[in-house]
Every structure is written in C-alpha cells, then in structure tokens.
Amino acid sequence: MIKAVLFDLDDTLYTSFDVLNARGCDAAGKWAEQTLGIPAAEFCAQAAASRRYYHTILHAEPESHDRVLQMQNVLEHFGVNPILYAQQLHEIYWETLMEGMELRPGTSELLDELRRLGIKTGVCTNMLIDKQMEKLRRLGLAERFDAFVASEEAGRDKPAPQIFSLCLEKCGCAPREAIMVGDHRDHDIGGALEAGLHGIWLNWRGRPHARYACPHYEAADMAGVRKCIFEILKKEGF
C-alpha cells in the first residue's frame, strides 16, 4: 500500500533551473562588471567553469552546490578579494533565480489531493537546505509537505541511498510504500529504483527513454504524474 509520494524540487516542482541559473549568473556578472570592472561575459564563463570544477573535485556532493564557494573561486581567478564580495554575488544570483521561478501547473492541486487521500508528501532534493526551503516558501508550497530532506542533511546527493532512506524514515514508510517523482532520470529515478521505491520520471524535456531493468513510470507533465500515481495506487491496492 502506498503511504507517501516524494518529489524532487528543481525542474520538477518548478522549471526551468538551467534557464534561471543562466539568469542568475548574468545578473551577478553585470554587477561584477559595474562594480569591479570584470567583463560580464568573462565572469559568467568563469562561474560556469567554477561550478563544473567543484562538481568534479567534490564528486557532486552537497557542498559542491555552494554558490559562495563558487563566487570565491571566480573572484580569486580575477584577483579580487572574495571576502568582500562573494556573499553579495551569491545573494544576487539566488534572488534573480528565485524571482523567475514558476510553479509547475497542477502541482498544488495534486499535493492537496494526495493529502485528502491521507498520503504523505515529501521533498527529496539535492542542494543546500536554506535555499531549497526558501524556494518552497516562495513557491507557496511550504505547508503542503509532510517531510523535507535536502542532500546537505543526508550527507550525500542523489542517487545515493541515504537521502531516500532519510525521507522514508520521516514519512514513516518502507521503500515499496513510497513513490519518487523527479525529472532526473539517473539521480531521481535510478536512485529511487535502487532504493526500492516506485519511480515516476517527469520527462518534460522529452528525452530518450530511460534504460532501467526495474519497471518505472513516465510522464510529460503533472497531469501525467497524477495519472501514474493513481495507476500505482490501483496496482498496490490503495
């Protein structure tokens, strides 16, 4: 019997992170050009390189997402004291990104419907706790979830099993009693299937079909996700 549905956050509950990330970098780059004389295009190119660098050396674990760390690296590259400006650039980036977030249509209605059915809902997301919680508040979803786990708390990013286990513990259910909904084929769905959960791949980009031995569901939007959830509920005898 299904007792909980877990949701990824970025590119699942809102879209599109890549677009908003670019906007945030552009805003930080313009500020750096106006204030520090660093050409905006060069700043943005170095910011992208810094993000790739830390994802590589920190193995894409929670601390690799820290934009203060990335801004420090960028400023040091241009010979600027990061203690003076890294935090401010970090805030400019995040404020711009969050201002552009748009809740995926059908999300609130689905969460409310699951609650009426007595099914718990949780957020199971990579990234740092403070910014992910702030995103949920700004999206108007802060009171619609029963559990929240960011990879910073779990100590490992998805697809590592720790983050799924912790979210399941908070929801009080076993893996086969939970469904994971997410946009990332490997991190969200691959990790969930390995951990024993049901998986619904929100393939809103229309990417090639997933290659998993374990059965999973696939949807293009939240209406499709809802349909998949109810197929699983029916199958599991809810």
Local structure of residue 209 (DSSP, 8 states): P
144 is written with which tokens? 């619609």
Sheet of 198-202, strand order: 147-150, 120-125, 4-7, 178-182, 198-202, 217-219
Give whole-number Cα distances, 118 to 2, 29, 234, in Å. 10, 47, 15
237 is written with which tokens? 């005898």
Q: Which long-range contacts (CB under 8 A, 24 or more apart) does 199-204 make?
A: 200/225, 200/228, 200/229, 200/232, 202/8, 202/12, 204/11, 204/15
In whole angstroms, what is the distance from residue 137 CA to residue 87 CA? 22
Residues that are catalytic: 8, 10
The count of C-alpha atoms lying within 13 angstroms of the C-alpha of 134, restricted to the half-sphere facing its C-beta, is: 11
Q: Which of 1, 4, 17 is nearest to 126 (CA)?
A: 17
Q: Which of 90, 102, 89 is nearest to 17 (CA)?
A: 102
Q: Which of 204, 224, 206 is nearest to 10 (CA)?
A: 204
